[in-house]
Structure 1
Amino acid sequence: MSENPFAILTGEPVPDSRLDERAVIARGRVRVRRRRGLTAVAAGLALAVVAGAVALAEPRPGPKPAPVGPSPACVPEQLPQLGPTVSATIDPSGRYIAATPDSLDGTVLLAGPGGVRTLTAVPRLVVSGVNGGGTVVGNVENDADEDGYVIDGGTAVELGRPPGALNAGAHAVGENGDVVGDVRMPDNTFRAVVWRHGRWDQPQVLAAPAGGQSSAFGVAADGRIVGSVGKSPQPYLWQPDGTGAPLPTPEGRPGGIASDIAGDWAAGPVDYAANATTLPNGRPAARPPLTWARWNLRTGEVRALAGGPRTVASGGLLADGTVVLQDVRTATLWTEAGATELPVPAGFTRWLVTGASAGGVLVGPASDDRGWTATYRWACR
Structure 2
Amino acid sequence: MNPLQELHDLDAPGTELTAEGLVRAGRDRVRRRRRAAMISTTAAVALILTAGVAALAAVRPPVEPDPAPMYPQPTSSAPGCRAQWLPVPKGTETSQPLVDSTGLWAAAEADGGYSLVIWRDGAVAAEVPALEHSMFSIVGISATGSVLVARAHRWRIITPGRSETVELSLPPDANPSGKADVTGMNAAGDVVGYATFADGQRAMLWRHGDGGRPTVLATPEGLASAAFTIADNGSIGGYVDDHKASRRPYVWRADGTGLVLPMPDDVPNGSVSELVGDRAVDFARGLWWQLSEEPGGPEPQWLATGSGGGRVMAADGTIAVGTGGDAVLWGSGGTVRLPAQPGFERYYVSGMSADGRVIAGSAVDEAAASAGRPLRWVCGA
TM-score (norm 1): 0.73
State the alpha-carbon separation in 2 of the partners of residues 50 and 109 from structure 1. 16
- Map 1:1-381 → 2, pairs under 5 A: 25-27=25-27, 31-33=33-35, 34=38, 40-43=44-47, 44-45=50-51, 47-48=53-54, 51-55=58-62, 65-67=72-74, 71=78, 73-81=80-88, 84-105=93-114, 107-112=115-120, 115-120=124-129, 122=131, 123-140=134-151, 142=152, 147-152=154-159, 153-162=162-171, 163-165=174-176, 166-184=178-196, 190-230=201-241, 231=243, 232-250=246-264, 252-253=266-267, 255-269=269-283, 290-297=285-292, 299=294, 300-302=297-299, 303-308=301-306, 311-313=307-309, 315-329=311-325, 331-340=327-336, 342=338, 345-360=341-356, 361-369=358-366, 370-381=369-380
Distance apart, 1:177 and its partner CA: 1.9
> How many residues of Structure 1 are paired with residues of Structure 2 in the alignment?
329
Counterpart amino acid of 1:323?
Answer: I
Q: Structure 1: which 4+ aligned runs deviate by more than 6 Å? A: 35-39
Counterpart amino acid of 1:223?
Answer: G
SS of the aligned residue for 2:88 comes to: helix
State the alpha-carbon separation in 2 of the partners of residues 46 and 147 from structure 1. 30
**Cα–Cα, structure 1 residues 87 and 148, in superposed 2: closer, same or farther, change >3 Å?**
farther
**Cα–Cα, structure 1 residues 115 and 342, in superposed 2: closer, same or farther, change >3 Å?**
closer
- Give the gaps of 5 or more residues in structure 1: 1-23, 271-289
Q: Is the 8 A contact 1:87 1:365 kept in 2?
A: yes
State the alpha-carbon separation in 2 of the partners of residues 183 and 86 from structure 1. 27
> Which deviations, in whole Å up to 9, do the C-alpha atoms of 1:309-358 show, x marking residues without a partner?
xx421532212122334535454433223445656544234222222111
State the alpha-carbon separation in 2 of the partners of residues 57 and 85 from structure 1. 30
**Cα–Cα, structure 1 residues 330 and 216, in superposed 2: closer, same or farther, change >3 Å?**
farther
TM-score (norm 2): 0.73
Distance apart, 1:297 and its partner CA: 3.1
SS of the aligned residue for 1:358 comes to: coil
Distance apart, 1:92 and its partner CA: 0.7
Counterpart amino acid of 2:314?
Answer: L
SS of the aligned residue for 1:80 comes to: coil
Counterpart amino acid of 1:42?
Answer: A
> Which deviations, in whole Å up to 9, do the C-alpha atoms of 1:130-174 show, x marking residues without a partner?
11112211223x5xxx65332244533442123214343222222
> Which deviations, in whole Å up to 9, do the C-alpha atoms of 1:85-130 show, x marking residues without a partner?
113111111121111114322x221111584211356332221211
Distance apart, 1:236 and its partner CA: 1.2
- Give the gaps of 5 or more residues in structure 2: 1-23
> Which deviations, in whole Å up to 9, do the C-alpha atoms of 1:167-224 show, x marking residues without a partner?
432222222221112225689x642111111221222111122252222122122211
> Matched residues, percent identical?
31
**Cα–Cα, structure 1 residues 312 and 365, in superposed 2: closer, same or farther, change >3 Å?**
same
Distance apart, 1:64 and its partner CA: 6.1
SS of the aligned residue for 1:87 comes to: coil
Deviates more, 1:116-125 or 1:360-369: 116-125
Counterpart amino acid of 1:116?
Answer: A
Deviates more, 1:339-348 or 1:167-176: 339-348
**Cα–Cα, structure 1 residues 38 and 56, in superposed 2: closer, same or farther, change >3 Å?**
farther
The structure that is strand-richer by fraction is 1
Counterpart amino acid of 1:334?
Answer: W
State the alpha-carbon separation in 2 of the partners of residues 170 and 314 from structure 1. 21
